[in-house]
């Protein structure tokens, strides 16, 4: 590969994605606020950027995988940030789950400077990222998408082109995460229902995941957690779930769309956080989704 790539954000998802770019032969420069995450990459031949200003060069490509709107804005617009270093001619490819409004803002700012902002949201847990099997939703100007497509093919099995409006990639990811939130609420209530009649909740949810109707990672993985009441998996904790629930509801509010299930999921996540369970998987919201059903059963 002749293209030199910068990569910012080596957390649970960013780390396996950046490793796949190295394996694909890209000349990679990496940056993370936690320098301990960088050591495995330099051992494999990647270069370390000690500041954002060292990772971006005019007309280059930088990929970011950061957790929040605020962190993406800081990376792009902060002192020595990517907007300053990449333009003109450069591409900032954001793979983060952020608000449509932030992507819209950054797309306009990059265009004013002669650069390009692309949104490329991803579906898949860290193990799927490690396998290079993510689903990727890409949106932004066509010429820039052509340029980044080869590196995205090193990260995922499917790349879906959603057109030139960058917000499309963000709302598709939020829609997907909402479906997970809704499934967690539903599994929590269903588990409480069958348990109220003396059925083993773990057996019930395992049988649903094994059925022809509810197969897949959401029902298999999260269903197992909910059935066994074991939420120690910290790949996606309550705080990240809260972020996504807020983003879903903010996006819905922009178009005047009521989303009562998303509101319910938010309430259960807030209850989990308030009960000292913020470090557990967001699937723990199912415990709080089940509380109303349990109370009604007790009252009857």
Q: What is the CATH number of the domain that holds 225?
A: 1.10.1040.10
Pair 13, 130 in one domain: yes
Pair 148, 175 in one domain: no
Pair 185, 42 in one domain: no
Per residue in 6-34, pLDDT tens?
999 999 999 999 999 999 999 999 999 99
Closest CA to 171 of 106, 94, 247, 105: 247
User: What is the CATH classification number for the domain harbouring 70?
Assistant: 3.40.50.720
SS3 assignment, position 206: helix
Q: Average per-residue pLDDT in the chain?
A: 94
How many of the other CB atoms lie within 10 Å of CB of 102? 23
Element (H, E) at 83: helix 82-86
**Domain of 181?**
171-299
Q: Which of 129, 145, 164 is the last residue of a domain?
A: 164
Over range 229-249, report the average pLDDT.
95
Q: How confident is the model at residue 296 (pLDDT cuts 50, 70, 90)?
A: very low
* Statement: residue 168 has pLDDT above 80: yes
Over range 165-171, report the average pLDDT.
98
Determine the pLDDT at residue 1: 54
Give the Cα separation of 112 and 192 in Å (integer): 54
Q: Which of 164, 179, 198 is the last residue of a domain?
A: 164
Total domains present in the chain: 2
Pair 66, 147 in one domain: yes
Pair 130, 187 in one domain: no
Pair 83, 230 in one domain: no
| 0.85 surpassed by pTM | yes
Determine the pLDDT at residue 292: 55
Is 243 designated active site? no
């Amino acid at each position: 590969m002749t293209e030199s790539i910068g990569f910012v954000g080596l957390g649970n998802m960013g780390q396996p994605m950046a490793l796949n770019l190295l394996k694909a032969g890209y000349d990679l420069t990496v940056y993370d606020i936690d320098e301990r995450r960088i050591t495995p990459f330099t051992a494999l031949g990647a270069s370390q950027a000690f500041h954002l200003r060292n990772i971006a060069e005019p007309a280059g490509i930088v990929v970011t995988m950061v957790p929040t709107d605020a962190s993406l804005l800081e990376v792009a617009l902060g002192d020595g940030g990517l907007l300053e270093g990449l333009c003109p001619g450069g591409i900032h490819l954001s793979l983060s789950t952020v608000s449509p409004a932030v992507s819209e803002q950054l797309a306009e700012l990059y265009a004013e400077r002669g650069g390009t902002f692309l949104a490329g949201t991803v579906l898949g847990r860290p193990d799927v990222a490690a396998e290079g099997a993510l689903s990727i939703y890409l949106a932004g100007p066509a010429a820039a998408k052509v340029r980044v497509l080869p590196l995205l093919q090193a990260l995922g099995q499917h790349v879906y082109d959603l057109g030139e409006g960058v917000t499309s990639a963000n709302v598709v990811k939020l829609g997907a995460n909402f479906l997970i939130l809704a499934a967690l609420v539903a599994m929590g209530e269903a588990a409480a229902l069958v348990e109220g009649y003396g059925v083993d909740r773990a057996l019930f949810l395992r049988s649903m995941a094994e059925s022809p109707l509810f197969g897949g990672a959401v029902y298999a993985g999260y269903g197992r957690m909910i059935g066994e009441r074991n939420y120690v998996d910290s790949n996606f904790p309550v705080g990240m779930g809260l972020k996504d629930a807020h983003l879903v509801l903010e996006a819905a509010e922009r178009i005047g769309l009521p989303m009562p299930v998303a509101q319910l999921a938010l309430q259960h996540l807030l209850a989990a956080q308030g009960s000292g369970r913020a470090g557990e998987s967001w699937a723990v919201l199912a415990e709080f989704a089940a509380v109303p059903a349990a109370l009604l059963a007790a009252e009857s």
